[in-house]
């Protein structure tokens, strides 16, 4: 809601009823000369033009709106927005997201596993102010997509750009974890954690996942693992980003969660078995609440002027009123 820095300007609105009163008293009225046209003992001439009457009414209304907008702009409307300016670091959380083709299996509320993970992350991130988020994409290879940042726009943009299969068709859990550890180890955040979201076992890469989990523990980084997907035969549709070829069919979803549980235990965190979108959101919320840290901040008030908006609206209203009266009704204001 706008706040007005010069509210006294609204006194100018009183000019409208004053003008109406003066016109009622025949002051400031347009001079008219009556000319009666009628047949002998017949009815007087009547102007029957509803469109013209409507145009007259519309032009008066536009003129009034323009005047009110002008008065409002003179009152200097502003919008006040408060934002938190953090003076200390929050938690750094890096998501290691599996982008192998099997993540395109559609068994999470009708969505692919990758889209479900994206959606849950998108819902979580805005709720945790001051927390830095990073992203590592992982398949048969791993790559840092976003270093830990509080820039939500950049994070979401890169998250949405992930493509399944762009890093191969394997699952190199060790490589994904070690990439995240490398970029978190030197961070100054009071708390650091890795959230691994995957739907399979390690079958690629030179680094053993448990070795990467121990490395995270040594650097004070907590590891959480989310095993995503249901068991059994699930539909899958996958577009190879290299060739554009579409693969569709069914995936026999059977993986052993025990290695993932051991990784989470070694990393000092917890394993979550996730088979629904609700369970996925709940798991991520649990991680965020556990990794919260106290941050100091102050409130900064940002002032946004709305003067030009009302001035422009008033100008447009005046121009429209003038056009109607000058070119349609044939009179000047």
pTM: 0.67
The pLDDT of residue 146 is 95
Contact present, 138 and 97 (Cβ < 8 Å): yes
- Does 233 score more than 80 pLDDT? yes
- Does 29 score more than 70 pLDDT? no
Structure tokens at 279: 């369970």
**Residues 257-282 pLDDT 10s:** 899 999 999 999 999 999 998 999 99
Alpha carbon distance 220, 91 (integer Å): 12
Look at 243 and 196; give whichever has higher pLDDT: 196
Of 35-39, 124-128, 160-164, 183-187, the poorest mean pLDDT is in 35-39
Residue-wise burial string across 160-195, b where 16 or more C-beta atoms lie within 10 A, e elsewhere: eebebbebbbbbbbbbbbbbbbebbeebebebbbbb
- Does 333 score more than 60 pLDDT? no
Contact present, 55 and 155 (Cβ < 8 Å): no
CA angle 311, 316, 320 (to 5 degrees): 150
What is the percent of the chain with per-residue pLDDT over 90, rounded to a whole number? 40
| 3-state SS assignment for residue 170 | coil
């Amino acid at each position: 809601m706008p706040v007005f820095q010069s509210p006294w300007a609204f006194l100018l609105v009183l000019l409208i009823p004053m003008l109406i009163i003066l016109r009622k008293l025949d002051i400031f009225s347009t001079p008219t000369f009556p000319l009666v046209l009628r047949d002998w003992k017949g009815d007087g001439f009547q102007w029957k033009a509803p469109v013209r009457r409507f145009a007259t009414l519309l032009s008066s209304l536009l003129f009034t709106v323009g005047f009110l907008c002008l008065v409002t702009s003179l009152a200097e409307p502003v919008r006040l927005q408060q934002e938190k300016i953090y003076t200390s670091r929050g938690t750094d959380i890096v998501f290691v997201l599996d982008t192998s083709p099997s993540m395109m299996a559609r068994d999470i509320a009708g969505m692919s596993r990758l889209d479900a993970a994206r959606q849950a992350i998108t819902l979580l991130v805005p709720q945790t102010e001051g927390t830095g988020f990073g992203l590592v994409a992982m398949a048969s290879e791993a790559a840092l997509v976003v270093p830990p940042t509080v820039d939500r726009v950049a994070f979401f943009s890169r998250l949405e750009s992930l493509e399944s299969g762009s890093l191969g068709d394997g699952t190199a859990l060790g490589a994904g974890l070690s990439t995240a550890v490398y970029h978190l180890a030197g961070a100054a955040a009071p708390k650091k954690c890795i959230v691994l979201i995957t739907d399979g076992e390690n079958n690629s890469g030179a680094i053993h996942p448990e070795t990467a989990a121990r490395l995270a523990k040594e650097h004070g980084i907590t590891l959480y693992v989310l095993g995503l997907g249901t068991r059994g035969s699930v539909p899958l549709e996958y577009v190879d980003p290299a060739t554009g070829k579409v693969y569709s069919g069914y995936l026999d979803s059977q993986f052993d969660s025990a290695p993932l549980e051991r990784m989470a235990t070694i990393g000092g965190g917890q394993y979550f078995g996730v088979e629904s979108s609700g369970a996925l959101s709940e798991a991520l919320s649990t991680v965020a609440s556990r990794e919260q840290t106290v941050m100091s901040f102050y409130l900064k008030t940002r002032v946004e002027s709305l003067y030009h908006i009302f001035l422009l609206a008033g100008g447009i209203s005046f121009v429209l009123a003038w056009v109607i009266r000058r070119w349609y009704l044939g009179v000047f204001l």
